[in-house]
Amino acid sequence: MSKIDLSLKNLDESFPEDFTQEQVAKAKTVFLKELAFTSHKFYGGKMQTIPTAGVYGFNWFNVYYTPGVSKISTSIRDNNDASFELSNRGNMVAVVSDSTRVLGDGDCTPPGGLGVMEGKAYLMKYLAGIDAVALCVNSYNEKGEHDPDKIIEFVKMLQPSFGAVNLEDISQPNCYKVLDTLREECDIPVWHDDAQGTGSVTVAGLINALRIVEKDIKDIKVVMYGAGASNATIARLILQAGADPNKMTIFDSKGGLHKDRADIKADTRFYRKWELCEKTNPDKINDVQQACKDADVLIALSKPGPDVVKPEWIKSMNTKPIVFVCANPVPEIYPYAAKEAGAYIVATGRGDFPNQVNNSLGFPGILKGALLVRAKKITDEMAVTAAYSMANYAQKRGIDPDNIMPKMDETEMFAYEAADVAMEAIKNGVARVHLTWDEVFNKTLEDIKQTRDTIDLMMENCFIPKPDIKLLEDALSLAIESVK
């Protein structure tokens, strides 16, 4: 076993040489969870608040607070849009969740989602120079039920302080009502990253996968395994991108979605699923194995694996099958097993496997573009534009079966994405201000550079302390022992 280092670049090589691929995959999952726990405890979370304005003498407090700040209050009173320039509102996102569907862990109680929401805020700051705050809320009503109206009212109340809202980890069916209501009734963009974000990055991956296998989106046969908020939105965006609904089959825990699913039709809260029942699966297929026969694409966002998607499903697919298995934290089938079953291109939601189809490639650039033109909403057209922006950026620098997506360290991609999304917002008529593509691109890069220079400076001066390497070594030892 080689010694692990702080960069984690040699993580795969840090496990015993006699470990199988499955043991390495399982051990990595344990290691990352253990290191997450110890590092979060070490840092006390991941985010803090730092001023943007300097203190050059104590009279500056009279400028930033009373009496000087009265001019700010009255200016915003007379023109509410001035709040985007005179406060941090124009670059501030609320990350809102009731923590009822946290990754693969389900209902974690309201504060249980803070780690994920802080992580979202961290990625927004590092990848796009966006300020964000985690807001985990209690959505229980007097009957002890999770009430979507409580989330809706909460978001409406916080609008004056934020430029956009990122909804996260809200269970279905509440997530549908929350998003669709707030998108129409709020004056700032309300974005559900589990749905629209996952949809956008998945479409991006699919675009490039189809380019590699030389298949046209209008001709492909698609199987969607899982019909939650993520896959339901992915399906909608794939159809908007040109797929044939008659060649799409979607499965939930009770079988295929189709017009005979009276259970879905009867529950009006699942109206998004019913829309897909009406559009897809005209042959009313209820067996996944049957649906996968000669399918070109299998997209699974169901439950953590690794034995959820079966190798025999993949073996029955068409030539050069494309398999996306994006459950967190463990994909429905490990990539090596999917490849052994015949998959030509495999993608997951994890960065430690090839082809990470992860929301982190989408939401920072999408939200940055929306913020810079002060968009009132993020349309489906903006989400599809972001998908093509990601795909095209990766294509320009080269793609192959194990490299269909941009990487999180390709900084310019986020600026390209922000600029493309901003132009689509202007085209869709939802932008308050009009900027050029270059203005959005340059401003995004400038904000990213400032953020990273600040973090580097804090690390160099130990304002962000370096964790003891023993934290990593202990987590690694525990992970190895857990799978022996």
Active-site amino acid positions: 65, 120
Q: How far is CA 306 from CA 256, 273, 329, 334, 388, in A?
A: 22, 26, 10, 6, 30
Position of tokens 């795969």?
12
CA atoms in the 13 A half-sphere facing the CB of 23: 14
What gap in Å lies between CA 97 and CA 106, rounded to an integer? 13
CB 253 within 8 A of CB 396: no
3-state secondary structure 333-402: CCHHHHHHCCCCEEEECCCCCCCECCHHHCHHHHHHHHHHCCECCCCHHHHHHHHHHHHHHHHHHCCECC
Quick one: DSSP state of residue 140? B
Q: Which of 192, 191, 424, 207 is nearest to 324 (CA)?
A: 207
Peptide bond into 467 cis (omega under 30): no
Helix (H, G, I), strand (E, B) or coil at 97: strand
Residue 78 phi, psi dihedral angles, 5° rounding: -80, -20
Q: Are strands 322-325 and 345-347 parallel, antiparallel or unpaired?
A: parallel
What gap in Å lies between CA 447 and CA 245, rounded to an integer? 41
What gap in Å lies between CA 251 and CA 264, rounded to an integer? 12
What gap in Å lies between CA 330 and CA 301, rounded to an integer? 11
Q: Which of 323, 360, 293, 348 is nearest to 209 (CA)?
A: 323
Residue 255 structure tokens: 């079988």
Cβ contacts of 442 within 8 Å, gap of 6 or more: 415
In one-letter notation, the amino acid at residue 456 is D
